[in-house]
Chains A and B, each alone.
Chain A
């Protein structure tokens, strides 16, 4: 059994059920008077059919493939760490302010990717935060949050 394909198929099947239900709730209408959910409803049906084919193919697969095969030999912990870091950046962006949160994001991302020298990481992170502030806030007039530390 191909576990990777099975997981993919089940994921898209769940998406199709979720979208189909919501589209039906919005109203499909009729051919003469199509409703707002028409396209998304029929798209979800098509997605459901393809997902079921995926699931069937996964069961019929001769060669067993497990889910972790996709990550074998890769430094997957880095991508997970950076993903979590990005979510934390979004949460603390307005609380900590642009400069401080961007400094932390850059510094920590560099730490996850490569163990370069502390001062090098701090320098690049500082330059990125300050030059980002100048580029986006000063030149492009983007209203960046100041945060608790007021900068």
Chain B
């Protein structure tokens, strides 16, 4: 089946009333969490995971994917109108988007962000469609050593790309690995790290872990500071949302550059929407003939990052669909959703479940159109929703998290586990530890472990198996380069401090 025929097949699946409904709910909820500062796509997806238990796998993945790319659209609204990024990848949008709004150009800023996101999202999907199939075919050549090396590369890159201290990122990655090995050993069948607690024999579930670390900790942090956003009071009419021809001429290059850059950064482990939006802003400023306009309402500074973060969401699906390796924390949660529904993302996914792959890909086209139609007329509504006080919103999120954890196995132990992880997440974030490497290591841990043990069994304990096969050797070399690169500044600092002062 050619790509076009496969896409048509995908449309026949995603346009069924049920899947269309879940796509709509996904993008609507995504826009909502993008609009509301605090709860980002990670928190929303982790909270929604239990709700998908009773759904069909295709509907569940369509909905959760919709939340992810929908949040990218929603995030720009708060950044432009309130200067509060609804989620992390919209931080850069505040710089020029808010300035445009202050100058009375809120309408074109919102419109341009939505159109740029739509174009980039669509271009990203085309890339996803054409790259996934050949990459999945290539991944069929992978054996346990290659998988181990690729997962190790993913973990190293993610830890390397943490925003704060590398050492803290490293600790989070190791802790995630440790948590992933709790429970019955899949090969020997003996309990490990269960500390004689029967409830831990099944291991720790992703749902209470993610909901605790992201959802509960967010509420605890939010409760400490109360910020009432001040919304720009100019009335926004749909007519005023359409950018002028001059705006389009000015923005077209930035949209295209942002789309391409975002897509490729999205594919890389640890890349994703946040980094691509920052890189895009930097590039636009660097190549601009008027860099002094950036930060004062430059349209390129708005649409470049907005296009990049939307295109990155499509790119991030590639490693998940083709290698079964999540590139970022949202993909790790989607990986969890696949596993909950008895599916295994990876090279066989397209071959064994073409309905799911093509259904989800085509739902993204439909979702992008829905978002465009939904976002422009509903902007006044999103602005009103922003006024819902945290005092009402926070307890509701707490209840949803608690019941979500309970519904997993009708077990109060999972609620307790989630509360403990919530408090731990709060403390970790207080001390500037990033949660993302922990979740990714938790999801990748079992893949890493089983492939390492299989490789060692195959080679009868000979570690050179990772260096004698070309793909794993190249990948291991990349891991080494990243590790040395992160150690280099530390060594430089140590050597400098040992130099006698003149």
Contacts and interface: CB of A to CB of B under 8 A. Distances in A.
A112 B394 CA distance: 11
Given A140-B407, A142-B407, A39 B190 contact: no
Interface in B247-280: none
A129 B341 CA distance: 29
A144 B415 CA distance: 13
Contact of B195 (A22, A27, A35, A113): A22
Interface in A113-151: 113-114, 116, 124-125, 128-129, 132, 136, 140-144
A140 to B, nearest CB: 6
Nearest to A57: B167
A113 B390 contact: yes
Contacts of B23: none
Contacts of B192: 22-23, 26, 36-37, 40
A38 B223 contact: no
Interface size class of A (residues with CB under 8 A): 35 or more
Given A39-B177, A124-B392, A89 B402 contact: yes
B224 A76 contact: yes
A105 B395 CA distance: 8
B422 A94 contact: no
A50 B398 contact: no
A101 B469 CA distance: 58
B410 A43 contact: no
Contact of B185 (A36, A93, A112, A136): A36
Give the dominant DSSP class at A's interface.
helix
B51 interface: yes
B407 A109 contact: no
A63 interface: no
Nearest to A87: B419
Given A39-B181, A39-B448, A128 B399 contact: yes
B225 interface: yes
B198 to A, nearest CB: 16
Contact of A106 (B395, B407, B426): B395
A46 B152 CA distance: 15
Contact of B406 (A74, A93, A105, A113): A93
B396 interface: yes
B181 A40 contact: yes
Interface string B416-434: 1001001100100011000
B453 interface: yes
Contact of B193 (A4, A26, A78): A26
Contacts of B193: 19, 22-23, 26, 40
Given A89-B402, A128-B396, A136-B407, A47 B223 contact: no
A26 B399 CA distance: 37
Contact of A44 (B178, B400, B460): B178
A10 interface: no
Given A30-B461, A86-B398, A90-B415, A74 B225 contact: yes
B457 A34 contact: yes
Interface of A: 4, 8, 12, 15, 19, 22-23, 26-27, 30-40, 43-44, 46-47, 50-51, 53-54, 70-71, 74-76, 78-79, 82-83, 86-87, 89-90, 93-94, 98, 102, 105-106, 109-110, 112-114, 116, 124-125, 128-129, 132, 136, 140-144
The 5 closest A-B pairs by CB, nearest first: A32-B461, A31-B461, A36-B185, A26-B192, A114-B391
